[in-house]
Amino acid sequence: MRQRMKLKVSVRRLLVAIIVFLCTQGNSFGQKNIDARTNLNFNTHWAFYRGDIDGAEAAGYDDKDWNAITIPHTIRLEKKHCGGGEIYRGIGWYRRHFIVPAAYKNKKITIHFDGVQMNCAVFLNGEKLQSHFGGYIGFVVDITGKVKVGSDNILALRVSNMDDPLTPPGKPLTALDFNYYGGIYRDVRFTVTSKLYI
């Protein structure tokens, strides 16, 4: 009986040792350890214009006179106590130039927006890729196959914080006891993965 107990303990110790060894070996024996996912901070180097402009999504549009901003950002800074629906309600444009390195050529590339208040349209190099409604839930834009590797790309967002009965909270701002200011007010990430990923 004692020998059987000692054998069980020995087998358990051996199994634990094997599991610990395997867990410390990385992704696989003999394979190069590569990151499965690359997340890059995309909060810097944005240009912003408050108002609506025809053609601001176009790749060739000249945004050199726009404001240089970082994310998070609001369409307009408001005074300290601005209740009663006195905030700016309208359109704001955001643009960002970026170059995708050749190392990302056969990868899946997405841009993650953690929060854009309230409705927006997303463009890449002048092409509308997606619309998003609602400022409280983040969203992802897949730019794989649309992005130009090795040359300048232009990401543009047309953001609206105007009253919209179809977008929660769905009431006019003057009927609410809080304000939603508008803009890209949460982080933006540029994410690169393998085309097959978890």
- How does pLDDT run across 64-76, given as a tens digit for each residue? 999 999 999 999 8
Structural domain includes residue 118: yes
Structural domain includes residue 75: yes
User: Residue 194 and residue 123: Cα distance in Å, rounded?
Assistant: 23
CATH number at residue 83: 2.60.120.260
Nearest residue to 87 via CA among 170, 172, 157: 172
User: Residue 76 and residue 82: Cα distance in Å, rounded?
Assistant: 12
Of residues 195 and 58, the one with the higher pLDDT is 58
The range of the structural domain enclosing residue 75 comes to 35-193
- What pLDDT was estimated at residue 196? 80
Structural domain includes residue 3: no
SS3 state at 7: helix
Structural domain includes residue 18: no
Count of domains in the chain?
Answer: 1
Distance from the Cα of residue 27 to its chain's centroid: 27
- What pLDDT was estimated at residue 85? 59
Structural domain includes residue 132: yes
Q: Is 106 exposed, middle or buried (0-12, 13-18, 19+ CB in 10 A)?
A: exposed
Structural domain includes residue 140: yes
Q: What is the mean pLDDT of residues 145-154?
A: 96
Residue 55: CB atoms within 10 Å: 8
Structural domain includes residue 29: no
Structural domain includes residue 163: yes
